[in-house]
Amino acid sequence: MIRSERERKDLEMKADRRSMYPWFFALLTFLLAFLVLVLAIRHPSVRSLDNTLILMLDPIRTPPMIDFFSKLTDFGASRLLIPIIVLCLVFFLYKKNGIAFFLLPIVFFAERGVNSLLKHWIMRERPDFPHLVPETGYSFPSGHTMNAASVYGLLILLAAPLIQTKWLRRLWTAVCLAMILGIGFSRPFLRVHFFSDILAGYCIGGVLVCGSACLLIFIERLRCHDRKMP
């Protein structure tokens, strides 16, 4: 038995902190993995492996597959993601979820800035193969992959809990996961990124999604605390 109201509140606060721990641990893991990749891509063996993996996809680079992935990869580009984000903001307004309404665009534009800073810090050139779609700029980390991991990852985190129908909620989650994986794979398939660029994009996207989850838990804890205040 809990001997006092204060002890009960202390136990609730500890439970809230515990719920944040997995997300915080995942954030640190993604960050560490990214730093390892930054060091690894300078090693000749990693560069050789990256080139070999791109060449291994040649047998499946048929015209229909190239056409499919050329279209799929656009769903990781800002020009398509911004309209998708706007539609989701309308949904959040309908659901009266102000936190999701502000958090999604803030994280997206922050992620764009972070990607640009990282690319100009690391300055890795793109694969020295004929590109199957037009691309310019540096390669590491993959911007399309960071976009996909952060935006579609956040749409699982923010939108899925607002979908009441169970099968529709599962479908939404599955589609978002498929977009994250498919867009990531499309970049080396189209010879515009190395696989290590993709892993790095997933890592930074994971950092942003996990950080957002920690923030949501913290905000919810503050709300619960305010509701319990006399």
Backbone angles phi, psi at 135, to 5 degrees: -150, 145
Q: Which of 206, 204, 61 is nearest to 130 (CA)?
A: 61
- The answer to whether residue 43 is catalytic is no
Q: Which of 43, 120, 131, 193 is catalytic?
A: 193
Which residue bears the tokens 């597959």? Answer: 65
Q: How far apart are CA 214 and CA 17, in angstroms?
A: 10
Could you tell me the two tokens for 163?
Answer: 């979908």
In this structure, the number of other CB atoms found within 10 A of the CB of residue 75 comes to: 18
Known active-site residue 225: no
Distance CA 210, CA 195 (A): 22
Residues marked active site are found at 144, 193
